[in-house]
Amino acid sequence: MRVDPLAQTACPLQEEEAAPRLALAGIAKSFPGVRALHDVSLSLYPGQVTALIGENGAGKSTLVKIMTGIYQPDTGTISIDGQVVTLPSAHAAFGHGVTAIHQETVLFDDLTVAENIFLGHAPRTRLGLIDWRTMRKDAREVLDTMHAGHIDADARLKDLGIANKHLVAVARAMSIDARIVIMDEPTAALSMKEIEELFLLIEFLKEEGKAILFISHKFDEIYRIADRYTVFRDGEMVGKGLIKDAGQSQIVRMMVGRSVDHIFPQRKAEIGAPVLTVSGLSHPTEFRDIGFELNKGEILGFYGLVGAGRSEVMQAISGITRISGGTITLEGKAIAPKSAADSIDAGIVYVPEERGKQGVVIGLPIFQNVSLPSLKRTSKSGLLRLAEEFSLARSYTERLDLRASSLSQDVGTLSGGNQQKIVIAKWLATAPKVIILDEPTKGIDIGSKAAVHGFMAELVAQGLSVIMVSSELPEILGMSDRVIVMREGLVAAVYENKDLDAETLVRTAAGIAA
Amino acid sequence: MTDIPAPRHIPDRLDKPLSSAIFSWEALLVVVAVAIFVVNSFASPYFLDPYSLSDLTFNFTEKGLIAFAMALLIISGEIDLSVAAIIALASTLMGMAVQAGADTPVLVLIGILVGLGCGAFNGLLVTRLGLPSIVVTIGTMSLFRGIAFIILGDQAYKGYPESFAFFGQGYVWWVVSFELVLFLIAAVVYWFLLHRTSFGRRIFAIGNNPVAAQFSGVRVGRIKFVLFCLTGLMSGIASVLITSRLGSTRPSIAQGYELEVITMVVLGGVSILGGAGSIVGVVLAALIMGLVTFGLGLLNVPGIVMSIFIGLLLIIVIALPIVWRRLRGGR
Amino acid sequence: MKAFLKYREIWLLAAIVVLIGLISTRFPAFADPGNLRQVFNDTSILMILALGQTVVILTRSIDLSMASNLCFTGMVVAMLNAAHPAIPIPLLIVIALAVGLVLGAINGLLVWRLNIPSIVVTLGTLTIYRGATFVLSGGAWVNADKMSPDFIGFQRAALLGIPVLSWIAILVIALFFVLMTRTALGRSIYAIGVNPTASVYAGIDVGRTKFIVFCISGMVGGLAGYLWISRYVIASVEVANGYELNIIAACVIGGISIAGGIGSVGGAVLGALFLGIISNALPVINISPFWQMAISGSAIILAVVLNARGERQQGRIILRKAEAA
């Protein structure tokens, strides 16, 4: 469709020293109205990690679903060890030794660890019945070989932490003797320490001779663990090669098709008087004695490990979670929001972290999503006024540079980055005084990220106050005026963002003494 | 494609192709309704008579009234299986009041209030305690009708005042019954409520994604509570109509209505999973069910056999678009 | 011990023991082993049906057509018996299972192949199957005098002092126990209920498993059809009318979560027994049978409230980690 000069220079197809374990060639897949993949190819080699890189909507997830038998390609071939195969179902993919460890760990919370590992291939007794004793024993063995003997094979999965769930998923891959392991953003919800453990595990899988596909947005991880890379853009393969031969900026250019500077926007917002004062905020089990001030025109960063209680505090301030004590004062007036509706009325909005679950209402068109929190203003004594809704939706979606064919389009048909724009637009449209953004750029592409950051700078310049919960250090350091670090439900420290370094933040968040 | 286009104008809506209107659910229902109407008028010479057409309406008005509220409830992602039991309890309490010498206005008030109270009870259990409505209302279904059985046993209440008969038997003008007028008014009110108010919009939002709706400032619990109250209220009104039409109360009154009401709602194109549906569809479904029942009745087909047709209709009308889509997609 | 008390079946069993205890303080004869055997026998059919419903509910589905299936299949075997008394009872039972299987398979196919929500499908077949009973029988009843002595007597015959009906229930319970705890199908059923998406990735064919589950509930409905008709010795269109909700009630009281994935064979059996004890106890303690409906309604509400409490105690506790560290 379009000749990419970068792609040609980036893949001087060298002779490969080993035959690929899995090779995809000429794969295409379309959905009604969307061309997800066009003539892509991908090779995975035994004992090597291949990183699949691309912006959201580049077609990575579709490819994973094709490799795991969930989707069927329209054209193209899949070969394993040189043999052309078809994968008509997940079960078939399973049979060929393909297994995926997914973005949202797809395991079974109410089943035991052993069952999660052996579901679908449990050891049987001579009568064909499930042999629970052997299953438990085998599960313990697999976990032991992975140096994960601390996990109880009889524990219910829901009682494990996210990192241990990953270990179980890997154990499952080991138990089916998977030869091809797909890891789809496995580090998204992990803390630094857990990521290190995962990397040890990946090294282990490499030594076992597995062919690994590693999908991640994080370049430091890719450079740390991958041997090869393949870059997708808009459903096409635009480059591939050995990681050691490629520079970071080169790959970024391939991803976005243009160079992107990582510079965060310059801000000249006047920081004014306190707008929001929180003191002694407590919850029976999740956080205690949280106190801070947010000033007019300020971006206040909240850093911490995943599970430090940051989102819980924010949800309490916005009335979604009940508190057991403490006060919230907005512009000198004490407020006690009992629901999101109360806090929106007061002028505090919370833009949630989980876009699909908490953010957009899939099934409703764009304009109805945007107007949902503002229905009081767009309707008159309870009666809808569509013209008002459309103009509200238009003004905010155009400011955020939304790509859509019409405002009556179902949000479910939009890409992740565009859905995130809707999510921000809908809460901004309520004209709040304080906006709380929870992981505003999690899992979105570099282009959309820059748009969101630029927009935040615009907001504070207009006198809004922003709280930004983020687990990404560059974002925290690049955007915040001050940073609050939380650890295990408590405020660990407050820093002015002057000469603040990443190491200090990480140490405080992890509770390691300097 | 690599360049960033300048912010462009996004149209409000794209022109919909005519085919999407033709293949809409409502259009399908209209076709079915007309077909049944035509078949009926050929099958029985009595069908096209205004008086028999008027009788026809009694087959759907009472259930239809409940179906409107039930449609809203199902769109919001909940369900109420206790509606028929509410009818029985309200009717029984009206009967008790008659024994105590109550007059028509008091009876109507009792019927409506009992309905509202039962609906509120369901609503409290579901929204305050966060229980699944399907289970709660299976429970209250037994509870409400159970109370009616405790009060009445195998007895029946009779002796309703003459003026009470108007609601279920009276005519407003010529062959237009009071029930039909009430049904039409309710249709307009509920259409307006669902499709033209912010309340209705919030119902759709809740049905599609209750968590996101809550985060967006929709008071999910309160709206669901109101919907349970409305469903109870409509059941109370239906109870007044049925009791008035029959002139007596047994604890087994309106047995099995809940499934017919839900069939009506689903047939009307409301998604049982919540989030989608229209009042026009429900009105058409009510009409279709009335036509089928009445038409077969004229042909002396027993009621139990009619239910086969209703059941088949439900499955076929829902399966048809799926099969159709699959056949077209398969090409 | 604590882990032991986590199982809701234990609590339900305790509730049943307390209930029997309370009744027997005033009517000691109720706790008599002979009477308890009788209660078990009376509840056999409900237990069997509840087990069939349980596997359906575990997959996040529901089968509202079980009672209608029972009614239809019961009529088929009753009419067969009336016309050909020579057909041996075991063969009739096989026929009942087969007819039930076909009716269940129809539900299952609609759910599997057309992806129609099960509540809609079985709402439709609920009326269709009962209507079909009328068409089959022409509205006539099959009375006791038309049934062969074997037909009526089979389930009443005593084996080791216990009626065959109870033995059938025990056998069905055992089969379901093995199915749910020791077979791959049983574990797939749980997996689908816990996490349908993950099940697809784990290589489980969700649609086909649901189909099988409806076949099972259909067969169970068919078996119950013969048992019901031969027990109450009348086959008519009205048989077990509205009984589908009693079946679901037994499951709910037994702790089967309507959201799928949670529940056990033991729970379903105890749930059914709980209802059985109440209906047997009412005449004993001289309460009008008209109270039964309201009592079981209250029991359902109470059960679902208590079960919800038990499930809510989970969730992340951030602070306690801080205190422990």
Q: Closest by alpha carbon to A495, among A272, A302, A267?
A: A302
Residues 6+ apart with CB under 8 A from B265: B67, B70, B71, B74, B277, B282, B285
Convert the pLDDT of each residue in A61-93 to its tens digit. Answer: 888 888 888 888 999 999 988 889 888 888 788
Beta carbons of B114 and B89 less than 8 angstroms apart: yes
Q: Say if the Cβ atoms of B134 and C295 lie within 8 Å.
A: no
Convert the pLDDT of each residue in A248-281 to its tens digit. Answer: 777 777 776 654 455 677 776 678 899 999 999 9
The strand pair at B176-177 and C158-159 is best described as: unpaired
Q: Say if the Cβ atoms of C131 and B140 lie within 8 Å.
A: no
- Entry pTM: 0.83
CA distance linking residue A199 with residue A183, whole number of Å: 12
CA distance linking residue C169 with residue C265, whole number of Å: 12
Is pLDDT of C272 > 60?
yes
CA distance linking residue A151 with residue C50, whole number of Å: 36
A contact residues 1-30, partner C, Cβ 8 Å cutoff: none
CA distance linking residue A272 with residue A481, whole number of Å: 12
Convert the pLDDT of each residue in A216-225 to its tens digit. Answer: 877 778 888 8
Is pLDDT of C171 > 90?
yes
Q: What stretch of H or E contains A36?
A: strand A34-44
Reported as a pLDDT band with limits 50, 70 and 90, residue B302 is confident
Q: Mutate one of C185, C194, C256 to test the A interface: name it (highest A CB count within 10 A).
A: C194
Q: 3-state DSSP call for residue C295?
A: helix
State the alpha helices, DSSP H only, in chain B.
Answer: 18-22, 25-43, 50-57, 61-75, 83-99, 104-129, 133-152, 166-169, 178-196, 198-208, 210-215, 220-246, 257-267, 279-298, 303-330
Convert the pLDDT of each residue in C67-79 to its tens digit. Answer: 999 999 999 999 9
Question: Around Cβ C289, how many Cβ atoms within 10 Å?
Answer: 11
Beta carbons of C147 and B302 less than 8 angstroms apart: no
C322 inside 8 A of chain A by CB: yes
**What was the ipTM of the complex prediction?**
0.82
Residue in the block written with tokens 């997914």 = A102
Q: Say if the Cβ atoms of A106 and C195 lie within 8 Å.
A: yes
Helix, strand, coil tally for chain A in percent (to 5): 35, 25, 40
**Cβ-count burial of C1 within 10 angstroms (0-12 exposed, 13-18 middle, 19+ buried)?**
exposed
C261 inside 8 A of chain A by CB: yes
What's the half-sphere exposure (Cβ side, CA atoms, 13 Å) at A243?
Answer: 18
What DSSP letter does each residue of A169-237 carry, written as one string?
HHHHHHHTT-SEEEEESTTTT--HHHHHHHHHHHHHHHHTT-EEEEE-S-HHHHHHH-SEEEEEETTEE
Q: Say if the Cβ atoms of C204 and A119 lie within 8 Å.
A: yes
CA dihedral A193, A199, A203, A208 (to 10 degrees): 100
Convert the pLDDT of each residue in A296-307 to its tens digit. Answer: 999 999 998 777
CA distance linking residue B217 with residue A340, whole number of Å: 5
Beta carbons of A329 and A365 less than 8 angstroms apart: no
Q: Closest by alpha carbon to A70, among A184, A198, A171, A168?
A: A184
Nearest CA in chain A to C203: A91
Strand partners, C142: C235
Nearest CA in chain B to A314: B215
Q: 3-state DSSP call for residue A410?
A: strand
Q: Among A221-225, B63-67, B149-153, which stretch is predicted with the lowest mean pLDDT?
A: A221-225
- As a whole number, mean pLDDT of residues A480-507 equals 87
Report how far apart, in Å, the C-alpha atoms of A290 and of each of A280, A338, B248 are. Answer: 5, 18, 65
Q: Say if the Cβ atoms of C184 and A122 lie within 8 Å.
A: yes
Convert the pLDDT of each residue in C115-143 to its tens digit. Answer: 888 888 998 898 899 989 988 988 888 88
Residue C318: predicted pLDDT: 55
Convert the pLDDT of each residue in B248-297 to its tens digit. Answer: 999 989 887 888 898 899 889 898 888 989 999 999 999 988 888 888 88
The backbone torsions φ and ψ at residue A77, rounded to the nearest 5 degrees and listed phi first, read -125, 150
Amino acid present at B191: W
Q: Say if the Cβ atoms of C237 and B304 lie within 8 Å.
A: yes
The strand pair at A49-53 and A482-487 is best described as: unpaired
CA distance linking residue A110 with residue A159, whole number of Å: 9
Residue in B4, B14, B217 closest to A341 by CB? B217
DSSP single-letter state for residue A6: H
Beta strands per DSSP E along chain C = 158-159, 162-163
